[in-house]
Amino acid sequence: MLDRVAWWLVLIGALNWLLVGLFQWDVVAWLFGGSDVLWSRIVYTLVGIAGVYLLPQAFGVKMVGKKD
């Protein structure tokens, strides 16, 4: 369950960065009223934590005690 949530958050972050890169449109900031608003910062933080959480999987590292 945690893996799925993390993947969705990383996907949201990737799509947001794609839109920033192509159109200079930050959807998260647009939805919450700016990039410095608390809710935007929470979303950015959750996306970052999800990315760090999934980092070992990107390099094929098995987590101890995790069943596939």
Question: In which domain, by residue range, is 48 found?
Answer: 2-58
Q: Are 43 and 32 in contact (CB under 8 A)?
A: yes
68 has pLDDT over 60: no
Q: How many domains does the chain have?
A: 1
More confident residue, 61 or 44: 44
Query: CA–CA separation, 51 vs 25, rounded Å?
Result: 21
- Helices then strands, counting H and E runs in the chain, come out as 3, 0
The reply to whether 20 falls in a domain is yes
For the whole model, what pTM was predicted?
A: 0.82
The reply to whether 68 falls in a domain is no
Query: CA–CA separation, 37 vs 55, rounded Å?
Result: 27
Indicate the residue type of 21.
G
